[in-house]
């Protein structure tokens, strides 16, 4: 399997578009006067439709939500102060070539989004760079990352059978080091490190997961890219509140929506999460192995609780704090947005997210207060408003992003990637750079290139 760096090196991302060599995508041939239906107006579906539109192919995008962006969701916390936060996908890496390329092409500006991590662990507060892993573990994990790049396929498969927590413990990580790994890494995975594949974890950490490589977000919010893509595709071609009910495939395709409208085309690109995919009535029925893979793959439980304060008492635009409290990870969500006010977001995952999401606003504020108390004292009087979004309860995804558990990466992903009759699939869940906005875009563009 090619790594992301090999993927770029092989020239798959070119100014002329994407080729499909070595990606697992099957080439579909259509006539000059042809039409493609794209299901889903997240980053993946919009990226696919945009590439098709540029090639002169007639395209329509069907989106069940009342907005574009999917699991990228910019929310306005204070219209007067023009303060926005991300309730969905947030960080863009310096190595995310396709997002950066599209932003440049569509004249979207990027802002610095680097943060400086403080720590609250066992009720002890440590400022940025005053804490870290033990020197022994830093040396060991660095070696594990280097060795990972040389693993043979059979070794990769064996590693995929372990969860990340067990793999770390087996390799000498314990005590405070193991606690820190769980606190920090679970932020990336949306679940406890006992739930995720050791292979996909280390793969993640040898690509673009280092915080120094995640320095950007889009000025005005990451939804700006989705909106810009929709504008280029043509708003008349992006149908909101169009939930797909039935797909019929033969010589061509017929898609029926819950509102009764029917669309016909030559091919389909399906870019929606597996939960939404399962709700569609497919005729003929999906293959058994694909149904089994859809049923088995789970998505991360992520809760975001943004709280607007009338004063930026943290006095550091790059502030974030990792904690072992229920609030888990708190970070400045309105970094460099001009206002005396500011928003801190409590980002919780897994079981913590399940618990926090069900609390009252008063209790959510209490959890943030408890996490910030050792550093800042009582801050509750400065709270102006708050909101909450729990992706674990999202109607269409039941999670923030896909989670490959032990033994699933090499078994499920190829099945989920595989086309079915006239339908190609896309989305972060089948990307080489899985669980990322970049991965979503790349799979969408690859699906478009395959037609």
Burial of 66 (C-beta count, 10 Å sphere; 0-12/13-18/19+): exposed
β-pair partners for 337: none
Residue with tokens 């085309």: 265
- pLDDT number for residue 205: 85
Domains and CATH numbers, the chain: 4-70+222-297+401-449 (3.50.50.60), 73-87+112-219+301-399 (3.90.660.10)
Could you tell me the pTM of the whole model?
0.91
pLDDT of residue 208: 55
Mean pLDDT per block of 10 residues along the chain (451 residues) reads: 33 36 58 85 98 97 98 96 96 92 97 94 95 96 93 96 97 97 95 96 76 78 98 97 98 97 97 97 98 97 98 96 97 96 97 96 96 95 97 96 97 98 98 94 97 93
**413, 314 Cβ separation under 8 angstroms:** no
Nearest-angstrom CA–CA distance, 363 and 360 = 5
User: What span, in angstroms and rounded, lies between the C-alpha atoms of 415 and 419?
Assistant: 9
What was the pLDDT predicted at 34? 84
Structure tokens at 378: 């009582």
Cβ(213)–Cβ(104) below 8 Å: no
Nearest Cα neighbor of 304 from 381, 189, 386, 210 is 386
* pLDDT value, residue 288: 97
């Amino acid at each position: 399997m090619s790594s992301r760096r090999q993927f770029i090196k092989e020239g798959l991302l070119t100014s002329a578009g994407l080729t499909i060599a070595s990606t697992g995508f099957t080439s579909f041939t259509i006539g000059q006067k042809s039409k493609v239906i794209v299901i889903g107006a997240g980053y993946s579906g919009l990226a696919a439709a945009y590439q098709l539109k540029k090639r002169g192919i007639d395209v329509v995008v069907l989106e069940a939500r009342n907005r574009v962006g999917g699991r990228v969701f910019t929310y306005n916390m204070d219209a007067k102060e023009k303060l926005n936060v991300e309730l969905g996908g947030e960080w863009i890496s310096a190595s995310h070539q396709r997002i950066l390329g599209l932003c440049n092409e569509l004249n979207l500006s990027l802002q610095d989004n680097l943060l400086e991590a403080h720590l609250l662990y066992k009720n002890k507060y440590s400022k940025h760079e005053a804490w870290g892993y033990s020197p022994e573990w830093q040396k060991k994990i660095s070696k594990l990352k280097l060795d990972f790049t040389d693993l043979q396929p059979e070794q990769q498969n064996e590693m995929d059978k372990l969860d990340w927590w067990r793999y770390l413990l087996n390799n000498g990580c314990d005590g405070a080091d193991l606690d820190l790994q769980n606190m920090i890494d679970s932020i990336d995975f949306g679940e406890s490190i006992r739930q995720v594949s050791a292979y996909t974890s280390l793969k993640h950490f040898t690509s673009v997961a280092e915080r120094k490589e995640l320095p950007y977000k889009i000025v005005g919010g990451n939804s700006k890219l989705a909106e810009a893509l929709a504008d280029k595709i043509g708003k008349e071609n992006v149908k909101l509140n169009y939930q797909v009910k039935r797909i019929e495939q033969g010589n061509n395709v017929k898609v029926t929506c819950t509102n009764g409208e029917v669309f016909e085309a030559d091919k389909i690109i399906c870019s929606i999460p597996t939960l939404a995919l399962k709700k569609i009535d497919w005729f003929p029925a999906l293959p058994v192995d694909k149904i089994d893979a859809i049923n088995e793959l789970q998505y991360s439980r992520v809760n975001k609780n943004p709280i607007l304060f009338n004063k930026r008492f943290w006095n550091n635009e790059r502030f974030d704090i990792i904690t072992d409290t229920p609030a888990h990870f708190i970070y400045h969500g309105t970094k460099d947005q001009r206002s005396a006010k500011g928003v801190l977001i409590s980002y919780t995952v897994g079981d913590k997210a399940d618990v926090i999401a069900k609390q009252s606003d008063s209790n959510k504020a209490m959890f943030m207060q408890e996490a910030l108390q050792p550093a800042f004292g009582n801050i509750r009087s400065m709270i102006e408003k708050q909101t909450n979004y729990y992706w674990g309860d999202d109607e269409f995804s039941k999670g923030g992003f896909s989670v490959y558990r032990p033994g699933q990466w090499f078994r499920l992903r190829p099945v989920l990637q595989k086309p079915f009759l006239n339908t190609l699939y896309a989305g972060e869940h089948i990307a080489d750079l899985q669980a990322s906005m970049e991965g979503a875009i790349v799979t969408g563009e690859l699906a478009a290139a395959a037609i």
